[in-house]
Amino acid sequence: MMIRKFKFILPLFFVFSLLTSFQTKVNNDPKDKVLLTILKHVLVQGHYEPQQIDDAFSIKVYDEFLERLDPSKRYFLQSDIDEFSAFRTKIDDQINNEDLSFFFLVYNRFMQRTDESKIYYKEILANKFNFEAKETLELDPEKLPYPKTKNDLANIWNKQLKYNALTRLYDKIDDEDDKYKADSTYVKKPIDSLEIEVREATLTSMNDLYERIDELTYSDWFSTYVNCITEAFDPHTSYFDPNVKKQFDESMAGKLEGIGARLQKKNDYTRIDELISGGPAWKSGELEVGDIILKVAQGNQEPLDIVGMRLDHAIEFIKGKKGTEVRLTVKKIDGTIKVVSIIRDIVELEETFVKSSIIKKDGRTFGVINLPKFYIDFDEKNFRNSTTDMAQEIERLKKENVEGILLDLRNNGGGSLQTAIEISGLFINKGPIVQVKYRDAKPDIKNDNDPKIQWSGPLVVLVNELSASASEIFAAAMQDYHRAVIIGGKQTFGKGTVQSVLDLNKYHNLKEDLGGLKITIQKFYRINGGSTQMEGVHSDIMLPSRYSYMEIGERDMKNALKFDKVPAANYAIWNNYENYDLAINNSKKRIENNKYFKLIDENAKWLKSSQDESLVYLNYEVYKNDLENRKNESLKYKELGEYTSNLTYTSPFYEMPLVEADKDLAEKREAWHTNLKKDIYVEEALNVLSELKIKPQVQLVKN
């Protein structure tokens, strides 16, 4: 439906002329040139904010392609970069002229350098490492130059492999100590034997890595280049080659078995970008956004190092059949290393649905509703959707005479725009909720047209830095109407764009499959005129969190579209609170004087400083001491994990018989209620909720 609004067409006669013109050129596959040309025209004519294909665009593509191929600067020499740099401002001309000479130069040189690197790692791992030498390794490639000579390159490889072996050695020595503690008759292996074992394990890991690299085809590398072009438009616009497009279609149509996490590539590392509600990783409680996965083991097998591995290959090792175990060696956001065991499973749909709890606070009754996503399923005949579930949950809470509702949207990554609009309508009379804009078009104001108000009492919405997309639309509407107090992190994620997936085979008459393009076609705007893009929603009451100082949102992504404004919609503020501003100010004073929030802020600053430290030690004793120091420093914040409130949480009346009849559900609810009791953010949100007072009569004030 969105695609019909695109104001561009690529006629078959145009593509035919491209094909015939390509036949006169040599060395390159005509299909690749057709793909590039189609993408250029689709992107320029269909993207919400098309880029000029100019020198500045060329530099972005150039830098990104080299970073994708060699993120740790362990393949290319400075002489290679000097040679490549002649094309730094010419890629735009090559795109316009169907010229792939830059790609082929870099691709062929990369193939040469990766072949040469096979010799480096095998020779290095054939010799004993000296873990007593005082050496360091810089992990941030931006702080490193490209190596000038092959000797410099070999030295980089030596340090990186030594670091890999060192982390394994630390784990093995730790295991030996544990065995001795469990059995005093156990004879610990000598360091020299362990050193040999870790080199052998590292060699196996590297052989596996290069086996995967060798499996990559020319098409895989060309797709990498093409994505450097598409993502120069914005980070959510990407090319799917035929195989990836097939996987995408399958993931949209069915359930994927695995750990239930969305992963992202960060330099050489695989980072957790999102935990899927109801998934095994989410349920384990041991992983969080920002953690880096270093190694993957299948059950009790030897772990495989995935540092430097392509993301799609790393995912292949992490995902797997339901019921199987995967052990992840993870670098936590505080710098500590932890092995996390997860039993793979299918995401439990029930955990993505609305659920509520009754809270007793100072003799008064309140309700908390958790909404993990804005869900809807058009494929099911009697589909559940978050709107009807939310309305039903509100009615159930009203029967229990709750005085206010806390809606928890933390970690809610979004979902259906339609349900976000409809759920907003449950709390207001009627009126505009969001503005949706196509390129070169006036904003389309999306309204709630139902005058019914499901809940007219006090409302507080709890968000964090991972509340995104539809969550931000809802929170923004509630804030603009002054219908709810928004409490949480400094700002939400900031994704205010909409993507659509196009089948590129509609735009050519080749017999070959060209794949698809996920392209940004729309932008969201609040009813006050501001975009949710980049800025997200700034909380009325800002709470410090672990993510306060980290690069976690849309604003930290390369080439993200900017914040802008459109004219405000015509809406009337919900002016039915007696003490809206007072309740907010009282909360700010409590937070300022709360020792736990002060400690959370200190912890967040420490986490940021730990994350910024990119120099690691290659001397075993220094490395060990550094890890132990980090563990000891983290103990300063142990008090945060021990915090508990004096509030009481129970299931609503309707759920009591279900809990009694279903042991699994009972355990889930008990765990949720325990976590709520220990949740200082929920406690402060409830403090605000308990203070909010409704006026005796509704009075609407024009915006």
Q: Determine how β-strand 257-258 pairs with β-strand 541-542.
A: unpaired
* Angstrom distance (rounded) from CA 236 to CA 557: 10
Q: Is 469 among the residues known to form the active site?
A: yes
The per-residue b/e assignment along 4-20, b for 16 or more CB within 10 angstroms, e otherwise, is: eebeeebeeeebeebbe
Other Cβ atoms closer than 10 A to 669 = 19
Q: Which of 277, 469, 539, 587 is catalytic?
A: 469
Radius of gyration for the chain, computed over Cα atoms and rounded to the nearest angstrom: 28
* Angstrom distance (rounded) from CA 431 to CA 257: 41
Alpha carbon separation from 514 to 228, 232, 240, 245, 508 (Å, rounded)? 17, 20, 9, 10, 9
Q: Is 495 among the residues known to form the active site?
A: yes
Which residue type occupies 481?
Y
Other Cβ atoms closer than 10 A to 285 = 11
Q: Which of 33, 73, 495, 523 is catalytic?
A: 495
Other Cβ atoms closer than 10 A to 581 = 11
Token pair of 443, please? 């904003």
Q: Is 430 among the residues known to form the active site?
A: no
* Angstrom distance (rounded) from CA 603 to CA 611: 12
* Angstrom distance (rounded) from CA 106 to CA 90: 14
Which residue type occupies 279?
G
* Angstrom distance (rounded) from CA 293 to CA 307: 8
**Strand runs (DSSP E) across 192-275, as ranges?**
238-240, 257-258, 261-266, 269-275
User: Rounded to the nearest 10 degrees, how much is the dihedral formed by the CA atoms of 284, 257, 225, 110?
Assistant: 80
Q: Residue 248, SS3?
A: helix
Q: Which of 32, 345, 408, 480 is catalytic?
A: 480
Q: What is the DSSP letter of 367?
A: E
Backbone torsions φ then ψ of 39, nearest 5 degrees: -60, -45
User: Do residues 681 and 563 make contact, with C-beta atoms less than 8 angstroms apart?
Assistant: no
Q: Which residues are catalytic?
A: 469, 480, 495
